Structure 1
């Protein structure tokens, strides 16, 4: 049976006249009359009888309205279920992020999402920013955390959108017994003649730091090139070398190491990147909100 015709009959049972039903349904009285006539033709029995200027439902009409009420109750229930499901963030969300920002922000962000959206599962892959952007383009991840040193905004693919997340600065890391370890801040030119350890995971970082040293009047004396933070930190703790690392990285596992502010500052901006058109995704919105809450708590 046609839902629109059942709705007209249901309204007629309450409002008693074709004109009142027409007003309620925003159609003409003749359209209502036609709907009722078509419904009677469909079921093969009279559903209404005229009484003066109004109409009454026949026994068949009343019986059908009772059934229609159940149908519409189920439809309203289904609509409510769908509305509720829109509020439930569920499924899988794949996130790519590079080590420093991942270690600083993602564990508590994921834990926050597990508590607030238990039907959402966040899958994490550690990737450098350029890897993350490539994974985003090839649909291997849904969100990539990137920075503007590795992925300049001007080089972003037009199919990718970004949301600014946080700004980060670079600090000097050295052993506790280093002559400069007592200082709150260290000028870049004061590091001339130091032995350096460089994190080679990011070529742009190395380029930025080398260029900054050259602007300060020297080239860094690099004695070690490491792909991981563990070896770098071990060399720093033993006083073999100093290093410059982002503040987000410098906040973790730094026992027996000293961190000083670097002047002038070297900064980077970190962004949440996703495919264009997916900004309204409930899962993506939930993750972005949780990231900003963690950034606020972190700050």
Structure 2
């Protein structure tokens, strides 16, 4: 059975639709459908069945998914052992990271590894934690930086392992002349009458904010959904919105914006994640060692 077809089946099992699986694999839905059809022909049995707009695995499909996951782990282990035997840290390493941790630690991590291993080519790509974990599981990246606010850590351990990198807290960003700017701390309840600017590219951020506000007894009024903090910061500086920002970003807030502690404190743990079969891959190991060391030096 061809490995690419097994990957298509794995993504379909995770995503539930041909369209979502295709997006995760950077393929068209028809290409994924064709791969599944070819896999069914090889297996000699139906692996999926239609349910409305979605797809459900048959018992045979569910059984094959279990084997496919084990095959992928073994292939990763084989690549890791071959890399160890070459005794060289070289080639391409793809890293997915969300903006606040990426800007805080990845440049120094990159520089240190480039100096130590000139034949190692690190390629960084910005993903939010959920997207990064999806990319890792579908072999589109080799490393993903994730956090436990966006991802239930129990779920993330199904096919990957994680190593702690840093801890961070969330703060409230307000205009420098805002009435709340002089307070030592604010609660979410204090912000009941504010409008919010959020970074919509972090898919978990809106849910976190909404859940916090609902616990305080109200629905947040969001007047700006921004692709990055540049627009959100401008809205805050102008007094049009408040925002929620990670502590990692406090040193780089734009002019006219200040921060206030959130009460009670909301913290998150940040991890570096890698696939289960690559725990002994030398390139993965040196990257993890260096990012943990860099984070400890810069953030500890």
Please, what TM-score do these two structures have when normalized by structure 2?
Answer: 0.67
Alpha-carbon separation, structure 2, partners of 1:220 and 1:83: 52
Larger-gyration structure (1/2)? 1
Q: Which residue of structure 1 aligns with residue 209 of structure 2?
A: 209
Moved more, 122-131 or 154-163: 154-163
Q: Which residue of structure 2 aligns with residue 187 of structure 1?
A: 187
Alpha-carbon separation, structure 2, partners of 1:297 and 1:173: 26
SS in 1 for 2:172: strand
Please, what TM-score do these two structures have when normalized by structure 1?
Answer: 0.67
Cα deviations by residue, 1:104-157 (Å, 9 ceiling, x for unpaired) = 111111111112222211111111222212221222111011112222112226
Structure 2: where are the runs of 5+ without partners? 1-82
- CA 183–152 in structure 1, closer or farther in 2 if over 3 Å, else same: same
Runs of 4+ in 1 over 6 A off after TM superposition: 82-85
Q: Which residue of structure 2 aligns with residue 58 of structure 1?
A: none
Q: CA deviation at 1:226?
A: 1.6
Alpha-carbon separation, structure 1, partners of 2:293 and 2:254: 25
Alpha-carbon separation, structure 1, partners of 2:227 and 2:84: 48
1:178 equivalenced with 2:173 (yes/no): no
Superposed counterparts of 1:81-100, under 5 Å: 86=87, 88-100=88-100
Q: Which residue of structure 1 aligns with residue 136 of structure 2?
A: 136
Q: CA deviation at 1:253?
A: 4.2
Superposed counterparts of 1:111-130, under 5 Å: 111-130=111-130
Q: CA deviation at 1:224?
A: 1.7
RMSD after superposition:
2.1
Q: Which residue of structure 2 aligns with residue 162 of structure 1?
A: 162
Cα deviations by residue, 1:71-123 (Å, 9 ceiling, x for unpaired) = xxxxxxxxxxx99963x422221101111211111111111111222221111
Alpha-carbon separation, structure 2, partners of 1:138 and 1:83: 23
Q: Which residue of structure 1 aligns with residue 232 of structure 2?
A: 232
- CA 196–275 in structure 1, closer or farther in 2 if over 3 Å, else same: same
Q: Which residue of structure 1 aligns with residue 294 of structure 2?
A: 294
Moved more, 96-105 or 168-177: 96-105
Alpha-carbon separation, structure 2, partners of 1:83 and 1:89: 9
1:218 equivalenced with 2:247 (yes/no): no
SS in 1 for 2:274: strand
Alpha carbons 2:94, 2:143 under 8 Å: kept: yes
Q: Which residue of structure 1 aligns with residue 152 of structure 2?
A: 152
Alpha-carbon separation, structure 2, partners of 1:246 and 1:113: 26
- CA 103–83 in structure 1, closer or farther in 2 if over 3 Å, else same: closer
